[in-house]
Structure 1
Amino acid sequence: MTEAKRIPKRSEMDPKYMWDLTPIFESDDEWEKAFQEVKAYITQCQALQGTLGDSAESLLKGLRLQDQVNMKLLKVYVYAHLKKDEDSTNAKYVAYNDRASSLANDIQNALSFVVPEILSIEEDTITQFLQENEDLTLYRHALDEINRQREHVLSASEESIIARAGEVTSAPSNIFSMINNADMKFPRIKDENGEEQELTHGRYVHFMENNSRRVRQDAFEAMYDTYKKQKNTLAATLNASVKKNIFYSRVRRYPSALEASVQKDNVPSKVYEQLIQAIHEYLPVFHRYVALRKKVLELDEHHMYDIYVPLVQEVNMKYSFEEAKDLVLSSLTPLGEEYRDIVNKGYESGWIDVYENEGKRSGAYSSGTYGTPPYILLNYQDNLDNVYTLTHEMGHSLHSYYSRREQPFVYSNYTIFVAEVASTLNEALLTDHLLKTTEDKKRKMYILNHYLDSFRGTVFRQAMFAEFEKIIHEKVERGEALTPDSLSELYYDLNVKYFGPDMKVDEDIALEWARIPHFYYNFYVYKYATGFSAATALSKQILEQGQPAVDRYLQFLKGGSSKYPIDLLKQAGVDMTSPDPVRQALQVFEQTLDEFEALVLDK
């Protein structure tokens, strides 16, 4: 029997494809030194309590110290979490991450008086302070943001208690991460050649795209059989996370956990509601897509494990990582030379950790902080989907790069609501480039199919996640329990609703809620769908209008959080308080489906 292909250890990886964290800290000893320096700030922070309202200079001193502490703290935290994520079986860096999280909570507690104390200052006095000290005007928007949340900020002592609770309330997410990335072991399955391969998070979608239906089914069942064994623990963990969100919303006097979450970005809750409503309106179009898949694949029953397999066969759309880099760079030409130069800098400067290794965090993300490069974690596989992942994460990283370069620290971190715009705009440009540079009918069909699948994964699927998240929070808010059975029943029913009559919704999919890390991110997932919609509109403007649209878009990237996200997007050219951008994106899905269907029927 052929020896099973195993996942390499971190020590066996080629450094060429590993990120370089030395721009953050040259060594672990430097990290340790920085850790102690940040810890020493706690006393300085506490000493400022009760002084912020004394004068404009005192307020400025407090705000500057807060920035200085957080700037250094974030470097300590980012280094620790990146080291942990590259190999969560390394106990040293798991401990670093825990220590950094604890330090962050200590700093948060030491600074917890700042917002309540600022709110205790009369608004007229703050206006006077702004007039008296020109340097303080830098913080005008930040002060306005604090004032906006006046009714939801508690007393200094209460805020201190909440800050101290942070380490405890982060437990559900941390526990899930350790179960999901370190403890959970998946079985081996036989690939299409009969060779045994270990099932992993990184390989799962790769198996789901396999032309062998037996391989897809084996991987699907092996994945959910593994989660089934942990369903009680994972249900309890998710339940605790939901209760955490509700706890924070209630102590801060919000009407619901959803309202508390969207208000952090100053986004009306109707944006969330409008998204789900618009998706429901277009579910018949999505059902039509599922029915077409069933017809093209010539299936008696279209199962959940068939949803990832490409509809266009015998097309070579495999890309090595080197090829993927070149393709992404070419596709970004409409954004200008500087943008492309920064991307190339990322390629050459160790921003990216490319391949899967034992203990590495699953999935992909962009990280980093003020004063460091952006860092991208991948688990690269040689397929088109992973080329999209590369350009997606590079979009995040360029957004971070521009925001941190152009904004002072206080406004350098853009809000979560706009976080998915730059990433999905890059994807839209990649699709446009691929379609324009191929005359081959099958390749064009393959690309259109991939674009349709992007809508499926980023708009329809994330909206289903958002609806699930909304419902489970409402259930707990009504006093209902979240059990493995109730979660699975709800999740199964949503799959039936979203995928329609031509999908055989397998029972195992009912457990998918147990493996989605984003359910621990407090109403994050809807932003993928709204971000995709905004990106669809902005990419169309860039391709049709050229430089004026590019200029507006780059200003958006440079804006950080210097304005509210809705306002930044309006300046870029899209109004997300209206349902129109989501509907327009769904119309693009329908048009793409029409184009793909015409090519299929013309073969």
Structure 2
Amino acid sequence: MSDNKKLKDRNQINEEYKWDLSSLFESDEQWEESFEKVKELSSKIKEYKGRISESGNTLLEVMNLKYKINRITENVVTYAKMKLDEDTRIDKYQGYFSRAEALDVKVEESNSFIIPEILEIEEDTLNDYIKNTEGLSLYRHKFDEILRQKNHTLSYAQEELLAQAGDIAGTPQNIFSMFNNADIKFPTVKDENGEDVEISHGMFIPLMESKDRSVRENAFKGLYSTYLGYKNTFASMLSGEVKKNIFYAKARKYNSALESALDDNNVPTSVYDNLIKAVHNNLDSMHKYMKIRKKALKLDELHMYDLYTSIVKDADMNIPYKECQETILEGLSPMGEEYINLVKQGFDSRWIDVYENRGKRSGAYSWGTYDSNPFILLNYHDTLNNMFTVAHEMGHSLHSYYSKHEQTYIYGGYSIFVAEVASTTNEATLMNYLLNTVKDKNQRLYLLNYYLEQFRSTIYRQTMFAEFEKIIHSEVENGKALTADNLCRIYKELNEKYYGPDVVVDEEIAIEWARIPHFYYNFYVFQYATGFSAAIAFSQKILQNKENLERYIGFLKSGSSDYPINVLKKAGVDMTTPDPVNNALKLFGELVDEMEKLI
């Protein structure tokens, strides 16, 4: 195996391509000090137990202390997890993260009396406290949120017990993460040049994008045959996660795990159901796209391992990281000078951990805390997809940057429901730039192919994931077992439905659920599809009228100062209606039609 095909150890990566975590902690020793500080403050807050209702000042003191503890804890947990993600094999940071998770549970336990005691305060009395206690009005939206969920909040003893169970509840996800990132080993395959390439999470998609069909097929079968060898283990992990979600939903008196998950963001389940319905109603466009793909690739049979390769063979785009940065800065120029300067700051100030190394967590994310700059984890390869990943994660980071600089710590984060909007707005804006500047017909086809793949993977595929989640939770809620065979059957049938008659749904794809980390995020994935739809709306508005940019930046600055549905409405996108989803799917259909004419 040639050296450039081997995964490097972390110490072989140049420092400029590694993130600088010093804005979190300058040393492990500082982390230990904060860890101890959290323990000290968590003991102190217990002194307020039974006293919260005595006065507005007491209520203010406990709220201030609660969020001080949360703020430090957030730094402790984030640092431990990001150090572990650099190389998941390192025992020291496995220990750090385990300790941080346990500490987080202890914090939840020590804080668990607060909400039940607030709920015992008469609403008129609470309003009087807020009116007459300087500083308490800051928490008005938090109090509104507590009162909204009153029927799902338990007694102090019950809340304390649920908090104590938190460490155990994280076990399915933790086992999956360690097994999937640190322990599982994949075979090597030959690339287009006949050289051995080790299959990894980071290399899998580049291999699936190969022009050589045998490379794609071997990588596909090599990866999924490995997962099939552990199908019962992965089924046990996922079953445990589903049972955990249902347990918490029942404990809090929700009708379903779905209702429980969405209620955290005050999102009605109708938004989830309407998304699935809208996609079902537009599967004809997806099936048409698959037919075009089959024709363009000149295949008698279109297999699952043919879905990622470009249908334009001679317009492949190789994009080194430096070129990626330059293109993103040009493409995002409609977002305004201030926005672009912040993107430059992210590139130049080591916010980003760029390249894959042995043991590094797979995938990509943006993270950080109120006290740090944003951070981006990548596993960058020189592809168009990876360039869009950088733009995507930078959207998350800029959203975080604006939110925390505009809002206090209390509201400095943003709801999961809107988490994918800024990231995808970046992608849509960058794509518009590329489509407007490309001159070559084949390159335009290549970009259209990529854009259609974004719709496929973000609206259609994520909605398929969302439907899978809904089905498997319903199965357990109705007393059925999630065996490996049942999970594979459900997943394969969904693939057949979504991809249509022109795709051979290979048996191996039935195990794909086993490698998806988002199935451990409690009904997270539907928000990729709703967020993508909102982002398409924002991008089009910004490109049509610069005045809309100010409303969009206002959205980025809103944090969690209001419910996510309201934050979007204020910026001009109403997700309580089907319009954003329908308009996005209409655009997808138009792009499919354009591709059909160009093929």
**Residue 395 (1) aligns with residue 395 (2):** yes
Distance 1:91 1:13 in 2: 20
Tell me what 2:37 maps to: 37
Tell me what 2:65 maps to: 65
Tell me what 1:586 maps to: 585
Tell me what 2:595 maps to: 596
Tell me what 2:573 maps to: 574
Distance 1:500 1:316 in 2: 27
User: 1:447-462 residue pairs with structure 2 within 5 A?
Assistant: 447-462=447-462
Distance 2:560 2:299 in 1: 49
Q: One-letter code of the match for 1:93?
A: Y
Q: CA RMSD in A?
A: 0.9
User: 1:156-305 residue pairs with structure 2 within 5 A?
Assistant: 156-305=156-305
Partner SS, residue 161 of structure 2? helix
Distance 1:438 1:349 in 2: 31
Distance 1:404 1:28 in 2: 25
Per-residue deviation, residues 85-128 of structure 1 (Å, max 9, x unmatched): 01001111111011100000001100011111111111011011
Cα offset for 1:27?
A: 0.8
Partner SS, residue 366 of structure 2? strand
Q: One-letter code of the match for 2:445?
A: M
Partner SS, residue 376 of structure 1? strand
Distance 1:586 1:566 in 2: 20
**Residue 314 (1) aligns with residue 318 (2):** no
Q: One-letter code of the match for 1:496?
A: E
Distance 2:494 2:177 in 1: 25
Change (3 A) 1:2 1:107: closer
Change (3 A) 1:561 1:3: closer
Between stretches 556-565 and 590-599, larger displacement belongs to: 590-599
Tell me what 1:357 maps to: 357
Q: One-letter code of the match for 1:73?
A: T
Tell me what 1:488 maps to: 488
Note if contact 1:469-1:519 (Cα within 8 Å) is conserved in structure 2. Answer: yes
Tell me what 2:500 maps to: 500
Tell me what 2:553 maps to: 554
Note if contact 1:19-1:351 (Cα within 8 Å) is conserved in structure 2. Answer: yes
Gaps of 5+ in 1: none
Tell me what 2:337 maps to: 337
Cα offset for 1:545?
A: 1.3
Distance 1:573 1:485 in 2: 45
How does the TM-score come out when normalised to structure 2? 0.99
Distance 1:311 1:222 in 2: 23
Cα offset for 1:38?
A: 1.1
Note if contact 2:50-2:117 (Cα within 8 Å) is conserved in structure 1. Answer: yes
Partner SS, residue 98 of structure 1? helix
Note if contact 2:310-2:316 (Cα within 8 Å) is conserved in structure 1. Answer: no
Note if contact 1:3-1:196 (Cα within 8 Å) is conserved in structure 2. Answer: no
**Residue 327 (1) aligns with residue 323 (2):** no
Tell me what 1:8 maps to: 8
**Residue 55 (1) aligns with residue 55 (2):** yes
User: 1:503-514 residue pairs with structure 2 within 5 A?
Assistant: 503-514=503-514
Distance 2:5 2:582 in 1: 45
Per-residue deviation, residues 270-318 of structure 1 (Å, max 9, x unmatched): 0000000000000011000000000000000000000000011111411
Cα offset for 1:357?
A: 0.2
Distance 1:385 1:83 in 2: 26
Note if contact 2:367-2:374 (Cα within 8 Å) is conserved in structure 1. Answer: yes
Note if contact 2:304-2:509 (Cα within 8 Å) is conserved in structure 1. Answer: yes
Tell me what 1:377 maps to: 377
Note if contact 1:366-1:375 (Cα within 8 Å) is conserved in structure 2. Answer: yes
Tell me what 1:529 maps to: 529
Tell me what 1:544 maps to: 544
Note if contact 1:4-1:195 (Cα within 8 Å) is conserved in structure 2. Answer: no
How does the TM-score come out when normalised to structure 1? 0.98
Cα offset for 1:210?
A: 0.2
Q: One-letter code of the match for 2:234?
A: L
Partner SS, residue 197 of structure 1? strand
Distance 1:2 1:28 in 2: 36
Distance 2:2 2:119 in 1: 68
Note if contact 1:4-1:197 (Cα within 8 Å) is conserved in structure 2. Answer: no
Distance 1:228 1:511 in 2: 6
Tell me what 2:564 maps to: 565
Partner SS, residue 53 of structure 1? helix
Tell me what 2:115 maps to: 115
Cα offset for 1:192?
A: 1.1
Distance 1:179 1:423 in 2: 29
Note if contact 1:285-1:590 (Cα within 8 Å) is conserved in structure 2. Answer: yes
Change (3 A) 1:287 1:371: same
Per-residue deviation, residues 248-279 of structure 1 (Å, max 9, x unmatched): 00000000000001111001110000000000
Cα offset for 1:213?
A: 0.4
Distance 1:341 1:119 in 2: 45
Moved >6 Å (runs of 4+): none
Change (3 A) 1:54 1:265: same
Per-residue deviation, residues 166-197 of structure 1 (Å, max 9, x unmatched): 00000000000001000001111111111111
Note if contact 1:569-1:576 (Cα within 8 Å) is conserved in structure 2. Answer: yes
Gaps of 5+ in 2: none
Distance 2:4 2:300 in 1: 33
User: 1:143-158 residue pairs with structure 2 within 5 A?
Assistant: 143-158=143-158
Note if contact 1:216-1:306 (Cα within 8 Å) is conserved in structure 2. Answer: yes
Between stretches 224-233 and 206-215, larger displacement belongs to: 224-233
Per-residue deviation, residues 200-222 of structure 1 (Å, max 9, x unmatched): 00000000000000000000000
Per-residue deviation, residues 48-68 of structure 1 (Å, max 9, x unmatched): 111111111111111100111
Note if contact 1:4-1:196 (Cα within 8 Å) is conserved in structure 2. Answer: no
Partner SS, residue 37 of structure 1? helix
Partner SS, residue 189 of structure 1? strand
Distance 1:188 1:165 in 2: 41
Distance 2:565 2:220 in 1: 40
Q: One-letter code of the match for 2:167?
A: E
Note if contact 1:403-1:557 (Cα within 8 Å) is conserved in structure 2. Answer: yes
Partner SS, residue 211 of structure 2? coil
User: 1:401-416 residue pairs with structure 2 within 5 A?
Assistant: 401-416=401-416
Distance 1:230 1:85 in 2: 23
Distance 2:529 2:446 in 1: 23
Cα offset for 1:4?
A: 8.7
- What count of residue pairs does the alignment treat as equivalent? 599
Cα offset for 1:5?
A: 3.0
Partner SS, residue 53 of structure 2? coil
Note if contact 1:406-1:558 (Cα within 8 Å) is conserved in structure 2. Answer: yes
Q: One-letter code of the match for 1:577?
A: T
Q: One-letter code of the match for 1:454?
A: Q
Partner SS, residue 573 of structure 2? coil
Distance 1:210 1:376 in 2: 26
Taking only the aligned residue pairs, the percentage that are identical comes to 52
Note if contact 2:31-2:76 (Cα within 8 Å) is conserved in structure 1. Answer: yes
Note if contact 1:227-1:514 (Cα within 8 Å) is conserved in structure 2. Answer: yes
Between stretches 331-340 and 300-309, larger displacement belongs to: 331-340
Distance 1:435 1:473 in 2: 41
Distance 2:174 2:73 in 1: 19
Distance 2:2 2:474 in 1: 51
Cα offset for 1:2?
A: 5.8
